[in-house]
C-alpha cells in the first residue's frame, strides 16, 4: 500500500516500511488530497484473507485491521470488505470502528462473482487434469508462494523454456496471473506466475494434498544445488528473494536461519541489489519467528544478532558519498539500495542524509524526475526539504523553472510544518537561497525575514549561531550583503560560527565582483584556518571571473596564512589549509604551485604523531583530503600513491570514494566505476577490532552450545572462529583473537586444540613490538592456558610478562598463575584432567537441557552476552 501512497505523494517508499512510515504517508496523502479538494478513499478488499489475522498461526506482526486508522486523517474514508469468519483480529482496539456493529453492511452474494468463481475452479481442475507437466507446474507455483518465471520453472521441471511457455499459454488468466517485472537486474526477462486469487491457492493446496510436499522439496533441492555451487552469478533471483518468503510462510525455521546466516548468499544478494537491506530484513524476520516459539533457540538468536551487528558495522564503514557516486554513474537503483542499507546509529538518521546526497547527485546527471522522486521519498522532513532544494537548484540551472517553482513550494511547505525552531530556520533559509537563484526575489526576501524571526526565537544559546550561519549565506545569495555582514558580526561563539558566516559573505561579495570588500572581510576572520579557506575561496571566484592577477595575490596571502598556523592541531590544519589553497591555484591555472602545495600538505600529514590508533586515524583522514585534492589537480597517479599508503582501511575506502567522485565529475565514468568498486570492497573488509568482537561473540555462542549439549554445533563454531582469526592482520589483533577461540575449545572439551591455539597465539605475540600491548595479550593467554590445564605454559608466560603492566594487570597475571597451581593440585587427586569433557547438565533429557523448560530455564554461563 505504501507504493500507492508514494504515487500520490511523488515519493519512493522505504523498501521495508515500518508502521510509522505507513501512518505518516497515509496522513500526508490524505492531507494532500484534501488540499486539492479531493478525498482519499482507502479500500481494503478481503480483510478475512489476512495471514496475520489467522489465529491458528503465531502473530509476529500486527494484523492489517489493526493498522487501519481509528480516526481517518484529512477527511479520508476507509471501506473494508470481508467475510464474517474469521472475526476481527484480537489486536484491534475496542474503540476501533471495525468493532462497531452499526457500520457493518451485509452484501448479497454476487451472481457474476459466483459464476467467475465456478469457472476459475473448473479451470484449475482442468489444469490438474491436463497432464503431468501441467500438474507439476501448478504444484511448483503453489509451493513457491511468490511468483516463478518461465526460466525458473524450466530449471525446476528440467524442461526447455518453450515447453513451459506452451503449457502455461493454454491456462486461463482466471487461474494464473502474470506478475509485473520486479527484478534487481535486467537478467530475468519476464515476471513470475502466481495463482490469481487466495481462494484458488487454498483450493489448489487441497487438491494437490501431500503432493505439494514433493514440489516443495524440489524447491529445497534446487536451492541446495545453488548453495553447493557457492551461489554463482547465475543464481535465480527467486532463491535470493522469494525463497525466503516461502520458508517464512511455511515456517521452516532451520532453513530460514541457514539463509539468514549464509555469507555467500548474502554477498550474491548484495551484488544484485546493490545493498544489504534485504539481508537485514531476513535476519530480523528470522529473529521475529524465533521469539514466537514455545522454546526459543537462544543460540540461534545470538548467532543472528552477531550477523546483524557485523552487517551493520560493514555498512557503517561504507563511505558516506559512495551511494552518490553510484548515482553519478547512472546506477540510481544501486545507489538507493546502498543508501537504504545504512542503519541509523547513535540517534542520527544516516539513511536520510545518504539518500539526500543520492538525490543531489542524480540531479547533477540531469535526471530530474528520478532525483525528485528520491528526494520526496525521504521521510525525515528537514532532510527531505534540503534534498528538494538541491533538486530545485539543479532545475534552475537546467532552465526548468516550472519544476523549480513546484519544488520550492514543496520545500517551503515542509519548512512551515517543522516545529523545531533551529531546523525550521535552516530550512526556510535554504528555500530562500534557491528562490533567489530562480529569480523570485520577493519570495526569497519574505522567507529570509521568516527565517530570521524563527532563528531569534531559539532559546538555547548554543543553537542560535548554527542557525544564523545559513541565514547569512541566504542573505548574501539574495544580495542583501550589508544585512548579512551585520548579522554575521553579531554571532559570538568560540566554535567558529562567526568566521564561517563572514566567509559566506566574502564569497558572495566576490561573486558580485567586489573582491576588495571581500578581502577586507576575510581580514576580520580571526581563525587562521577559516581565514585561509576564505582567502582561497575568494581567490577561486576571482580566477573564475578572469582576474588571474588578483587571484594570484590572494593565493599568496592564503598560503602565507596557512604557514602561520600554530596550534596543537598544527599539522592537520596546515595540511587542510594547503589543500584549499591548492584548489584555488588550479582554478588560477597555476598547476606548479598547486603541486607544490599538495606535496607540503602530504608532508604535514605524515608529520602527525600516529603512534596511537586515534592519531593514526586522524592522519589517514588528512591524507584522504590530500588525495582528493591531487585528483582535482588531475594528478591521479599521485592520488593513487597516497591512497595506497593509507593503512586505515576505512579511510582508504573513503579516499577512493572521494577520488571516484572527482573522476566521475570529469566524465570518466569507467575509471570512476573501477575506483568505487575498489572502495566498496575495501570498506567491507572487517576492522580487526570488529573481528575480535565478532569472535568473542562466536566463542560465547559456542560455550552456550556446550552448556545446551550441542557439542557438534560448538565445534563447528570454533572451527569457523579459528578460520576468521587466521585471516586477521596485525600481530596484536590476531593474538587477541585466538584467545577466546581457545577458551571456547576448552569448554567444548577439545583441550589439545585449545593448547595448540594458545601456542599459536604465543608465537604471534612474540612479534608484537609494543611491550605494553604484548604484556596485556600475554595476561589473557595465561588465563586461557590455566583453563586448558596447561600449567607449565602458564608459569612460562607469567615469567615472560614485562613489567610494563599496571599493578592491576600484574595482579591479574598473578591470579592466573595462582589459579593454575591450584588446578594442578586438584588435578593430581582427581580423574585425569585430560579426560575432562563437558556433557549436557541432564544427559537423559538432552532436548530439555537445550531449550529449557517452564520450571527449569536454559542453563548458560554467559547470560549477559546471550
Q: Is the pLDDT of residue 14 over 90?
A: no
pLDDT per residue over 661-707, tens digit each?
A: 999 999 899 999 999 988 888 887 766 555 666 666 666 666 666 77
Tell me the per-residue pLDDT of 748-787, one tens digit each, with 9 for 90 and over. Answer: 788 888 888 888 888 888 887 767 677 777 877 888 888 8
Are the C-beta atoms of residues 194 and 141 closer than 8 Å to each other?
Answer: yes
Task: Give the H or E element holding residue 333.
Answer: helix 332-340
Ordered domains of the chain (ranges, CATH): 2-103 (no CATH), 113-250 (1.10.10), 689-851 (1.25.40.10)
Average confidence (pLDDT) over 463-478: 80
pLDDT for 810 = 56
Of the pLDDT bands very low, low, confident and very high (cuts 50, 70, 90), residue 865 is very low
- Helix (H/G/I), strand (E/B), else coil: 806: coil
Please give the pLDDT value at position 275: 82
CB 176 within 8 A of CB 117: no
The DSSP secondary structure of 159-202, one letter per residue, reads --HHHHHHHHHTS-TTTEEEPPP--SSS---SPPEEES-HHHHH
**pLDDT band at 223; cut points 50, 70, 90:** very high
| Burial per residue of 470-495, b for 16 or more beta-carbon CB atoms within 10 angstroms, e otherwise | bbbbbbbbbebbebbbebbeebebee
Structural element, H or E, at residue 41: strand 41-44
Task: Please state, for a pLDDT cut of 70, what percent of the chain lies above it.
Answer: 82
| Residue 285 grid cell | 524476520
Q: Which of 57-61, 306-310, 368-372 has the lowest mean pLDDT?
A: 57-61
Q: How many residues belong to the chain?
A: 866
**How many C-beta atoms surround the C-beta of residue 546 within 10 A?**
9
| Spatial distance between the Cα atoms of 181 and 190, rounded to a whole number of angstroms | 6
Position 36 scores a pLDDT of: 81
Question: What span, in angstroms and rounded, lies between the C-alpha atoms of 541 and 539?
Answer: 5
Q: pLDDT by residue (tens digit) across 60-113? A: 677 888 888 888 888 899 999 887 777 888 888 888 888 888 888 888 877 776
pLDDT at 639: 95
112-148 pLDDT tens trace:
767 766 776 777 787 877 788 888 888 898 888 888 8
Average pLDDT over residues 581-601: 94
Residue 852: the pLDDT is: 38
CA angle 523, 528, 532 (to 5 degrees): 75
% residues pLDDT > 90 (the chain): 31
Averaged pLDDT for residues 12-25: 73
- Identify whether 752 is preceded by a cis peptide bond (ω within 30 of 0): no
642's enclosing H/E stretch is helix 636-645
How many angstroms separate the CA atoms of 359 and 324, rounded? 8
Angle (CA) 413-415-416 rounded to 5° is 65
Which position has the higher pLDDT, 315 or 398? 398
Predicted pLDDT of residue 834: 41
Summarize pLDDT for 370-416 with one digit per residue, the tens. Answer: 999 999 888 888 999 999 999 999 999 999 999 999 999 999 999 98
Q: What is the pLDDT of residues 701-735, one digit of tens each?
A: 666 667 767 777 777 777 777 777 776 766 777 78
For 789-812, what is each residue's pLDDT tens digit? 887 887 777 777 655 455 665 565
Exposed, middle or buried by CB within 10 Å (0-12, 13-18, 19+), for 1?
A: middle
Q: What is the pLDDT of residue 597?
A: 95
First to last CA, the chain: 37
Backbone angles phi, psi at 148, to 5 degrees: -120, 130
> Phi and psi (nearest 5°) for 574?
-65, -45
Asked whether residue 517 carries a pLDDT value surpassing 60, the answer given is yes
Residue 348 has pLDDT above 80, yes or no: no
Amino acid at each position: 500500500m505504501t507504493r500507492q501512497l508514494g504515487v500520490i505523494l511523488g515519493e519512493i517508499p522505504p523498501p521495508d516500511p515500518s508502521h510509522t512510515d505507513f501512518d505518516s504517508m497515509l496522513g500526508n496523502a490524505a492531507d494532500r488530497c484534501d488540499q486539492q479538494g479531493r478525498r482519499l478513499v482507502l479500500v481494503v478488499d478481503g480483510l478475512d484473507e489476512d495471514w496475520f489475522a489467522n489465529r491458528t498461526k503465531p502473530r509476529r506482526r500486527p494484523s492489517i485491521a489493526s493498522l487501519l486508522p481509528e480516526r481517518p486523517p484529512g477527511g479520508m474514508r476507509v471501506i473494508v470488505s470481508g467475510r464474517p469468519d474469521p472475526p476481527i483480529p484480537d489486536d484491534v482496539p475496542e474503540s476501533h470502528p471495525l468493532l462497531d456493529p452499526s457500520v457493518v453492511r451485509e452484501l448479497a452474494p454476487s451472481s457474476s462473482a459466483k459464476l467467475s468463481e465456478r469457472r476459475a475452479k473448473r479451470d484449475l481442475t482442468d489444469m490438474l487434469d491436463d497432464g503431468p507437466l501441467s500438474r507439476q507446474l501448478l504444484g511448483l507455483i503453489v509451493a513457491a508462494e511468490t511468483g516463478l518465471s518461465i526460466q525458473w520453472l524450466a530449471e525446476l521441471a528440467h524442461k526447455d523454456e518453450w515447453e513451459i511457455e506452451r503449457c502455461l499459454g493454454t491456462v486461463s488468466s482466471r487461474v494464473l496471473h502474470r506478475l509485473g517485472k520486479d527484478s534487481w537486474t535486467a537478467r530475468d526477462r519476464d515476471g513470475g506466475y502466481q495463482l490469481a486469487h487466495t481462494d484458488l491457492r487454498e483450493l489448489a493446496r487441497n487438491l494437490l494434498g501431500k503432493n505439494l510436499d514433493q514440489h516443495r522439496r524440489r524447491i529445497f533441492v534446487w536451492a541446495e544445488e545453488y548453495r553447493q555451487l557457492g551461489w554463482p552469478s547465475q543464481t535465480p533471483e527467486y532463491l535470493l528473494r522469494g525463497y525466503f518468503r516461502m520458508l517464512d510462510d511455511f515456517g521452516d525455521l532451520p532453513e530460514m536461519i541457514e539463509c539468514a546466516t549464509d555469507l555467500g548468499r548474502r554477498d550474491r544478494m548484495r551484488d544484485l541489489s546493490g545493498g544489504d537491506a534485504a539481508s537485514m530484513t531476513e535476519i530480523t524476520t528470522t529473529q521475529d519467528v524465533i521469539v514466537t516459539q514455545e522454546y526459543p533457540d537462544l543460540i540461534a538468536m545470538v548467532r543472528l544478532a552477531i550477523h546483524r551487528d557485523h552487517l551493520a558495522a560493514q555498512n557503517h564503514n561504507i563511505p558516506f558519498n559512495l551511494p552518490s557516486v553510484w548515482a553519478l554513474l547512472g546506477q540510481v537503483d544501486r545507489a538507493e539500495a546502498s543508501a537504504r542499507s545504512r542503519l541509523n546509529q547513535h540517534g542520527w538518521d544516516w539513511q536520510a542524509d545518504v539518500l539526500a546526497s543520492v538525490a543531489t547527485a542524480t540531479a547533477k546527471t540531469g535526471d530530474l524526475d528520478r532525483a525528485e522522486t528520491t528526494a520526496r521519498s525521504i521521510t525525515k522532513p528537514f532532510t527531505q526539504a534540503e534534498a528538494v532544494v538541491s533538486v530545485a537548484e539543479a532545475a534552475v540551472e537546467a532552465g526548468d523553472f516550472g519544476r523549480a517553482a513546484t519544488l520550492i513550494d514543496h520545500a517551503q511547505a515542509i519548512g512551515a510544518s517543522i516545529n523545531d525552531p533551529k531546523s525550521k530556520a535552516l530550512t526556510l533559509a535554504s528555500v530562500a537561497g534557491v528562490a533567489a537563484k530562480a529569480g523570485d526575489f520577493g519570495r526569497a526576501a519574505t522567507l529570509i525575514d521568516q527565517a530570521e524571526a524563527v532563528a531569534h526565537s531559539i532559546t538555547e544559546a548554543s543553537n542560535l549561531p548554527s542557525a544564523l550561519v545559513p541565514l547569512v549565506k541566504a542573505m548574501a545569495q539574495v544580495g542583501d550583503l550589508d544585512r548579512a555582514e551585520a548579522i554575521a558580526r553579531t554571532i559570538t561563539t568560540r566554535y567558529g560560527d562567526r568566521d564561517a558566516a563572514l566567509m559566506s559573505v566574502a564569497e558572495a561579495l566576490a561573486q558580485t565582483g567586489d573582491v576588495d570588500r571581500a578581502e577586507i572581510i576575510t581580514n576580520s576572520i580571526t581563525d587562521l584556518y577559516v581565514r585561509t579557506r576564505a582567502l582561497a575561496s575568494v581567490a577561486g571566484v576571482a580566477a573564475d571571473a578572469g582576474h588571474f592577477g588578483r587571484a594570484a595575490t590572494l593565493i599568496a596571502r592564503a598560503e602565507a596564512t596557512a604557514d602561520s598556523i600554530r596550534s596543537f592541531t598544527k599539522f592537520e590544519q596546515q595540511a587542510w589549509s594547503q589543500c584549499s589553497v591548492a584548489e584555488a591555484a588550479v582554478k588560477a591555472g597555476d598547476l606548479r604551485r598547486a603541486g607544490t602545495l599538495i606535496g607540503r600538505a602530504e608532508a604535514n600529514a605524515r608529520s602527525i604523531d600516529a603512534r596511537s590508533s586515534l592519531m593514526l586515524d586522524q592522519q589517514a583522514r588528512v591524507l584522504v583530503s590530500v588525495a582528493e585534492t591531487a585528483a582535482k589537480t588531475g594528478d591521479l597517479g599521485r592520488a593513487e600513491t597516497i591512497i595506497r599508503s593509507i593503512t586505515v582501511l576505512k579511510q582508504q575506502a573513503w579516499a577512493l570514494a572521494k577520488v571516484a567522485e572527482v573522476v566521475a565529475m570529469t566524465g570518466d565514468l569507467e575509471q570512476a566505476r573501477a575506483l568505487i568498486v575498489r572502495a566498496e570492497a575495501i570498506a567491507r573488509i572487517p576492522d580487526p577490532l570488529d573481528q575480535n568482537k565478532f569472535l568473542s561473540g562466536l566463542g560465547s555462542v559456542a560455550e552456550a552450545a556446550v552448556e545446551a549439549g550441542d557439542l557438534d554445533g560448538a565445534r563447528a563454531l570454533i572451527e569457523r572462529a579459528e578460520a576468521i582469526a587466521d585471516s586477521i592482520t596485525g600481530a596484536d589483533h590476531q593474538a587477541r583473537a585466538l584467545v577466546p577461540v581457545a577458551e571456547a575449545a576448552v569448554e567444548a572439551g577439545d583441550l589439545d586444540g585449545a593448547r595448540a591455539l594458545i601456542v599459536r597465539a604465543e608465537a604471534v605475540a612474540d612479534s608484537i613490538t609494543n611491550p605494553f600491548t604484548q604484556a596485556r595479550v600475554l595476561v589473557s593467554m595465561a588465563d586461557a592456558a590455566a583453563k586448558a590445564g596447561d600449567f607449565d605454559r602458564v608459569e612460562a608466560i607469567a615469567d615472560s610478562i614485562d613489567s610494563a603492566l599496571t599493578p592491576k594487570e600484574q595482579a591479574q597475571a598473578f591470579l592466573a598463575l595462582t589459579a593454575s597451581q591450584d588446578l594442578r593440585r586438584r588435578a593430581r587427586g582427581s580423574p585425569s584432567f585430560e579426560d575432562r569433557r563437558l556433557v549436557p547438565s541432564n544427559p537423559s533429557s538432552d532436548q530439555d537441557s537445550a531449550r529449557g523448560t517452564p520450571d527449569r530455564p536454559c542453563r548458560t554461563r554467559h547470560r549477559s552476552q546471550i
